[in-house]
Structure 1
């Protein structure tokens, strides 16, 4: 946390940069107010990087567009209905929004957009006091009508007005509270937490697309663990992602098993650690994190109490994969993300047979083939899934996976395994067998692929010999 004087100096330096000073002077010359607002001001006090330049003004969207056009080389008005105009000014992307006072009517899934009349009113309608901060331009006057600076210093997340009213205006703010506890490391004000629990059901009024976006932002944060716990404890996840709170399975005195819910959060933490240490990703990887969060959601449906105090979860990988597809589809995640997460959940147990006995080269090839372009993510998820406190067992599994990755690298170098294909393509198969396109060609292709996976590269002559033998023997 920066001192107030240091933060103001930093904001002054920001105001002197070409995009900010150009906008400030242009709006002042046009007779309109302009203020830097929200995240950039907050992050100046928290000594965090300032990545977004968000402004608010008394000008209408039409007036904003008229003012920014001469200053910018590009403009977009996709948010015009909500009062927002975007532009690229002096090489920086900026967004300027008309003072707002929107609210929900409790029925519609979208807010009713109402433009406000003053900066102070605009700030008080924002989600949290730490975001209800503004710097008037060009005069560099700090505006803090909700005592957000005090809450920044105290590390408290609180709504500028009554939380019941604030969450009633936009229920998505409850999920945003969880994200900010994770991103900023703040604690939630007691009254705000109580209101979240009481009003959790109103999250159903929010569109799946907005919920998906907010959940994704939380999962991409540096440490989403505490935010996810808040979503479970408040009851929000019971409405949004009920498969996660369902992981809090009861344990009776005769049957004992690992706490699946806490195990899941640990797996997520460890997956994030592997994601960072192994590299190869362009920022936080949503697919890895979703797969870690959902990898065991098939356990409640497959839980079986066995004799001798054993609890089994047979086929929870397959059941969980189907449940994940259904839930992520309902939340409007894109098809590629859904397919990748479902595949990782389906395959996340495959490795554990490796440590019990040596796999053949054929088994290693199949592991790579089945993982496809998700192999690196599968490495991460599988390693993260080891949460045992038994150091000897953890080391054994770790060494086994090291060995598997080594064998994959060796085979890849020998065979270019990442692109494993039969030694003959479809055209060659049809020419050799004298058949037309159809089911037989697909069967022949799959046969040759299995031969390739079992024995490695065959060469054209040997592949042709095996193909003819297989074809001649089909009727036997």
Structure 2
């Protein structure tokens, strides 16, 4: 953490920027208060780069609009009902919000919006003390009514008011606590942790869309493991992502297998490392991280205790893909993400057959075809799934995957593998067989596609001969 003096220097640099100085001058001229608040102030003390500029004021939304309209290139009031006005000033996006004093009624999934009258009261209703910091502008006065700076020095996460009251006002703050333990590396204090456990069922009041947003933010942190562990240990995961705590399988004294829960967290960590190192995906990649975390959620339902102390999980890939699809749909993820994550889970075991015997070119082509546009993510997930402490086994698997990627590259160069299609298209099929559009054309196309996958490019002449032979041998049915 930065010293207070260093943090104030950083805040001074922010305050002197064209955007902030223009905004501060305009509000002061209009006779209204203005303060930089929350994340930007916190991050100045943590030595982190602030990406958002959030302000709070005693001005009403109408007054905010009147002040910023003359100094902004654009403005919008999509958050007006919550007191927030957005604008683009000197090339930067800012949000200015009227002091708030809203709360939940204990039943509704949305707060009753009530505007407050003072900066200190606004800060005390915020989620955590480390976010309840403000810098009054233009006088550059630091405001910390709940001891947030001390908490940052101690690496402690706690609420400005009683955690029971704070989480009762907005239960989503419990998930934010999990996210901030990961994002900031802080630990929740004992009172906050006890409140998380006691009030976990109240997360059911929060809409699936808001839960989705907070879970996604947690997974997009650089090191989400600590936050996910708190999500599970507090009982929150049992309400919002029950498949995760279900991975903590009971250990049978006669049957032993690796800890599936800890393995899944390790796979997620390793996938994040590969995501950043390979550089072929935009990071953070939420789809990859969801697939890594959930890749083994089919194991609890498929676990079977075999003779000799063996534990099997047959078809957990297929079962897991179905479970992931159902859960992500309930959490309101978009269809593309749901399809991609479930496909990755379904395919995550496919490679391990390669280590049991060299694949034919046909098998390599099918692997690429089945992965489709998820191939790079599948590469990462498969490599990340190796968590064995047996170095010889890990090296063997890594070598095998290096080899399959090499063969993919060679076949791709020779055959345009990423766009595998039959040697003949539908029009050619109909001309050669003398048939009209219909089911038989589709059957012929699939036959030629299988030939292409098995034998590689054949050329139109050979493909036509094979097509005629197949057509002649078809049964009347």
- 1:295-321 deviation line (CA, Å, top 9, x unaligned): 000000000010111010000000000
2:276 is equivalent to residue 276 of structure 1: yes
Question: After the TM superposition, which segments of 4 or more aligned residues of structure 1 sit over 4 Å from their partners?
Answer: none
| Structure 1 residue matching 2:114: 3-state secondary structure | coil
User: How far apart, in 2, do the equivalents of 1:62 and 1:447 lie?
Assistant: 67
Residue equivalent to 2:311: 311
User: Deviation of residue 103 (structure 1)?
Assistant: 1.3
User: How far apart, in 2, do the equivalents of 1:290 and 1:351 lie?
Assistant: 20
- 1:439-467 deviation line (CA, Å, top 9, x unaligned): 11111111110000011111111111111
User: How far apart, in 1, do the equivalents of 2:34 and 2:319 lie?
Assistant: 54
TM-score of the aligned structures, taking structure 2 as reference length:
0.99
Residue equivalent to 1:422: 422
User: How far apart, in 1, do the equivalents of 2:303 and 2:339 lie?
Assistant: 25
User: How far apart, in 1, do the equivalents of 2:332 and 2:13 lie?
Assistant: 41
- 1:225-277 deviation line (CA, Å, top 9, x unaligned): 00000000000000000000000001111111111001111111111111111
TM-score of the aligned structures, taking structure 1 as reference length:
0.99
- 1:81-113 deviation line (CA, Å, top 9, x unaligned): 111111110000101111111211111111111
Report 1:462-473 matches (<5 A): 462-473=462-473
2:36 is equivalent to residue 39 of structure 1: no
Residue equivalent to 2:396: 396
Residue equivalent to 1:61: 61
User: Deviation of residue 436 (structure 1)?
Assistant: 2.1
> Size of the alignment, in residue pairs?
476
User: How far apart, in 1, do the equivalents of 2:262 and 2:297 lie?
Assistant: 13
| Structure 2 residue matching 1:199: 3-state secondary structure | helix
User: Deviation of residue 282 (structure 1)?
Assistant: 2.1
- 1:128-163 deviation line (CA, Å, top 9, x unaligned): 000000000011010000011110111100100000
User: How far apart, in 2, do the equivalents of 1:321 and 1:359 lie?
Assistant: 25
Residue equivalent to 2:218: 218
Q: Is the 8 A contact 2:275 2:283 kept in 1?
A: no
Identify the range of structure 1 (293-302 vs 463-472) with the bigger mean alpha-carbon deviation.
Answer: 463-472
Residue equivalent to 1:298: 298
| Structure 2 residue matching 1:54: 3-state secondary structure | strand
Identify the range of structure 1 (89-98 vs 437-446) with the bigger mean alpha-carbon deviation.
Answer: 437-446
User: How far apart, in 1, do the equivalents of 2:116 and 2:438 lie?
Assistant: 66
User: How far apart, in 1, do the equivalents of 2:78 and 2:450 lie?
Assistant: 51
User: Deviation of residue 283 (structure 1)?
Assistant: 2.1
Instruction: Say what the alpha-carbon RMSD is for the aligned residues.
Output: 0.8
User: Deviation of residue 431 (structure 1)?
Assistant: 2.1
Q: Is the 8 A contact 2:71 2:89 kept in 1?
A: yes
User: How far apart, in 1, do the equivalents of 2:442 and 2:69 lie?
Assistant: 58
User: How far apart, in 1, do the equivalents of 2:437 and 2:426 lie?
Assistant: 8
Residue equivalent to 2:145: 145
User: How far apart, in 2, do the equivalents of 1:104 and 1:422 lie?
Assistant: 60
Q: Is the 8 A contact 2:26 2:67 kept in 1?
A: yes
Residue equivalent to 1:455: 455
User: Deviation of residue 77 (structure 1)?
Assistant: 1.3
Report 1:178-327 matches (<5 A): 178-327=178-327
Provide structure 1 residue ranges, at least 5 long, that are not aligned to the other structure: none
User: How far apart, in 2, do the equivalents of 1:169 and 1:246 lie?
Assistant: 29
| Structure 1 residue matching 2:23: 3-state secondary structure | helix
User: How far apart, in 2, do the equivalents of 1:146 and 1:433 lie?
Assistant: 81
User: Deviation of residue 71 (structure 1)?
Assistant: 1.1
- 1:412-444 deviation line (CA, Å, top 9, x unaligned): 001110010111111221222222222111111
| Structure 2 residue matching 1:75: 3-state secondary structure | strand
Residue equivalent to 2:86: 86
Residue equivalent to 2:175: 175
User: Deviation of residue 13 (structure 1)?
Assistant: 1.2
User: How far apart, in 1, do the equivalents of 2:55 and 2:436 lie?
Assistant: 65
- 1:149-181 deviation line (CA, Å, top 9, x unaligned): 110111100100000000001000000001100
User: How far apart, in 2, do the equivalents of 1:436 and 1:161 lie?
Assistant: 74
User: Deviation of residue 389 (structure 1)?
Assistant: 0.8
- 1:33-56 deviation line (CA, Å, top 9, x unaligned): 110000000000000001110000
